[in-house]
Every structure is written in structure tokens, then in C-alpha cells.
Amino acid sequence: MSDLGYVVPLMAICLLATLALESLYALLWGVRREDFRTVLLANALTNPAVVLLTQLACDPHDSAAIWILLGLELAAVAVEALLYARRTRIRLPWAFSLCANALSFIAGLFLTI
């Protein structure tokens, strides 16, 4: 079993970066002030789970890792979109969730290159 001592700091860094990027994106999307808290909470729920599960389930040298990561990211998109659809007035909550998560995902790829 490998040392996973880096996972908690990684989760914190990923969450902070995601909150920064997706908050900015929410402002550009025109998310209302009263809905902003739900965006933050949805990301605080899904991002650490995706990072943790990715670290536990994926071997970076395994070609299946990208498919596991994609599945986890799509699950996060769905959870967030459902929260936005039920608890906010965000226009097109599924599109917002997909685009915001795609932005975070692509930024994460660039940061790890």
C-alpha cells in the first residue's frame, strides 16, 4: 500500500482552486447572490470526494485511470446540477454544472502538466 499522506493537502489545494475558478465562472454566468452559497457548498461536497476517490482508485500509469476519472467527474456534474436545479434559480443548471466542472478539470490538467 502506498503512502497517502499527501491526499489531504491535495484535497485542500484542489478544493481551493475549484472554489476560486467556479466562483469566478458563477459570477460570469450571472448566478444570483442568494444562489452563490449553494454553488460553494455543492463544490465543497463533490470536489473532495472526486479527488479522494481518484487517488484511491486510480493508478496514474493505468490506461483505465482516465475512464475512472471521467466517470467521477460526470457524477460530480450530475450531483451539482441536481442541487442547482432544486435549490437555486441558476439558468440552465445542467449546462452551468457541466461548463464549470469542465473549466476546473481543464485547469487541473494544465496545473499537473
Which grid coordinates are listed for 75? Answer: 457524477
pLDDT digits (tens, 9 = 90+) for 6-18: 999 999 999 999 9
pLDDT of 35 higher than 50: yes
Dmax over CA atoms of the chain, in Å, equals 46
Q: How many CB atoms are closer than 10 A to CB 111?
A: 10
Residue 92 backbone zone (phi > 0: left; psi -120 to 50: alpha; other: beta): left
For the entire predicted model, the pTM comes to 0.91
Domain count, the chain: 1
pLDDT of 1 higher than 50: no
Does residue 44 belong to any structural domain of this protein? yes
**Domain region containing 16:** 7-112
pLDDT digits (tens, 9 = 90+) for 66-104: 899 999 999 999 999 999 999 999 999 999 999 999 999
Does residue 1 belong to any structural domain of this protein? no
